[in-house]
Amino acid sequence: MISVIASIRLHEGERESFLQIFNANVPEVRREAGCLEYYPAVDVDSGIPVQRLDPDMVTIIEKWQSLEALKAHLAAPHMLAYKENVASLVKEISLKVLTGAEG
């Protein structure tokens, strides 16, 4: 299984516009072969001192059956359209592609 944590830094004040476009694409992604989990998340004020709240950051949580399924996802026509639709809203993207490290 592959886990993905995508941190999307948005231009100031663009979170709602981004989420509207992103959420419209979620059903298409969840229908893809190999998609186990896919959703956006935003900071919640937990009161935990080490947390840094960022209203211009959206984190995408993903789980895929395989690296091949993830790569197919990135090349899917609806993902190419999504990337074009959010391009003006996104300032920076940071991506972590992970696999379990259990012993």
Residue 102: predicted pLDDT: 86
Structural tokens at position 49: 């001192």
pLDDT one-digit tens code per residue, 40-98? 999 999 999 999 999 999 999 999 999 999 999 999 999 999 999 999 999 999 999 99
Domain ranges of the chain: 2-44+54-97
Percent of the chain clearing pLDDT 90 (strictly above): 97
Q: Whole-prediction pTM value?
A: 0.92
In CATH, the architecture of 2-44+54-97 is 2-Layer Sandwich (3.30)
Smallest Cα–Cα separation from 57: which of 28, 19, 27?
Answer: 19
Contact between 69 and 32 (Cβ < 8 Å)? yes
